[in-house]
Amino acid sequence: MPKKRATSQDVANAAGVSRTTVSLVLNNVQGVNIPESTRERVRDAARDLGYVPNATAQALATQRARAIGLIMTRSPEHIASDVFLPQLISGLLTVIKKRDFRLLIEIVDGNADDRAYIKLAQAKHIDGMIILTPRSTDEGIKKLDEMNIPAVLIGGIPECRLTSVLADDRAASQQAVEHLTAQGHTEIACILNAREIYPDAQNRLAGYQDALKKADIPYRDSLVRFADFDPQSGQVAMEDLLKKEHFSAAFIASDNVAMGAKRAIREANLHIPEDISIVSFDDIPWAAYADPPLTTVRIPAQEMASKACVLLLDMIHGKKPSRQTFYLKTELVIRQSTQPYRP
């Protein structure tokens, strides 16, 4: 049991060659000719010694960390209840593993240093980063492409030149709401997934408006509420709507928020879909097992992560992405939370 880890120098000594040769052999450097006999001596020595290259030293020498960061601009509490995180991580890891990279997770909450994640890159901890649901107010993001740091946004922000991968929230929302208008609903409430500053919320609101317009239903501000990711905020929003407004259907731009809204409806002794039809957004795993099973828009979170990851790795290796924004297909999953309008 060796106390100290073997270095490439140890391998070199054991194989009776120089450290340079060891490096050339183990890294399979092209364009050098070293006879197979020597190569084998080196590889045998490395195996016998249980040699594992020191990644830190490699990173220092190559100026490459072989790691990317997943940056989440949210508070720890929000992260704890983030439904998509496992899918995203899964998507990232499958891509990353194939390319022999590492995944670093970093969280940046609003009041902290705005440049925290930039430092992460400047410190050469990571070669690039994927930024999750950025706020449009985030100043740091603009600095990123000035500094020429490879970065890909998941759920991009307007007027930003960074490469981004997103679902077509607006079109998807429109489709969801059209599912309601098609069934004769004309008074349709809307609860957005997040506050106004989040571009996602704005896009989904726009889709809601598109669908209304197409069905010749006048848009009413009073039927719209902004939630804040969690069920609690959905419950509050729905309670408020039920108290002040009249409607036969609701578009709720997040399954998670819909969970809370459902409770508000139940506590008002109303039923879904008999009294109120509901279409929501995300298709989290429990949407199918809710009571009733929710009709919802599926977001391909895992594929979005994979796509973003591939783009980022390409950028790190110097390939420019073919486009600036990549839209991934959503799908309306029809279950049992809606029914045709009955006066």
38 binds, among DNA, its own copies, none (CB under 5 to 8 A by kind): DNA
- Interface with its own copies, residue 318, by CB under 8 A: no
Q: Which is nearer to its own copies, 237 or 259 (CB)?
A: 259
- Interface with DNA, residue 18, by CB under 7 A: yes
Chosen residue from 9, 18, 20, 122 binding its own copies by CB under 8 A? 122
Closest approach of Cβ 45 to its own copies, in Å? 17
| Contact criterion met (CB below 8 Å) for 11 and 43 | no
Chosen residue from 26, 107, 215, 333 binding its own copies by CB under 8 A? 107
- Interface with DNA, residue 35, by CB under 7 A: yes
| Dist. CA 343–CA 246, nearest whole Å | 12
31 binds, among DNA, its own copies, none (CB under 5 to 8 A by kind): none
Chosen residue from 9, 18, 90, 137 binding its own copies by CB under 8 A? 90
Number of residues in contact with its own copies under rule CB under 8 A: 55
Closest approach of Cβ 127 to DNA, in Å? 14
- Interface with its own copies, residue 310, by CB under 8 A: no
Q: Which of residues 144-173 bind DNA (CB under 7 A)?
A: none
Three-state SS string over the chain comes to CCCCCCCHHHHHHHHCCCHHHHHHHHCCCCCCCCCHHHHHHHHHHHHHHCCCCCHHHHHHHHCCCCEEEEEECCCHHHHHCCCCHHHHHHHHHHHHHHCCCEEEEEECCCCCCCCHHHHHHHCCCCCEEEEECCCCCCCHHHHHHHCCCCEEEECCCCCCCCEEEEECHHHHHHHHHHHHHCCCCCCEEEEECCCCCCHHHHHHHHHHHHHHHHCCCCCCHHHEEECCCCHHHHHHHHHHHHHHCCCCEEEECCHHHHHHHHHHHHHCCCCCCCCCEEEEEECCCCHHHCCCCCEEEECCHHHHHHHHHHHHHHHHCCCCCCCCEEEECCEEECCCCCCCCCC
Number of residues in contact with DNA under rule CB under 7 A: 29
- Interface with DNA, residue 24, by CB under 7 A: yes
Closest approach of Cβ 49 to its own copies, in Å? 12
- Interface with its own copies, residue 262, by CB under 8 A: yes
Closest approach of Cβ 195 to its own copies, in Å? 20
| Dist. CA 175–CA 253, nearest whole Å | 12
Q: Which residues here bind its own copies, judged by CB under 8 A?
A: 1, 5, 52-57, 59-60, 65, 67, 76-77, 79-83, 85-87, 89-91, 93-94, 97, 102-107, 119, 122-125, 146, 231, 256, 259-260, 262-263, 266, 285-286, 288-291, 293, 302
Q: Which residues here bind DNA, judged by CB under 7 A?
A: 5, 7-9, 16-21, 23-24, 26-27, 29, 32-35, 38, 51, 53-54, 57-58, 60-63
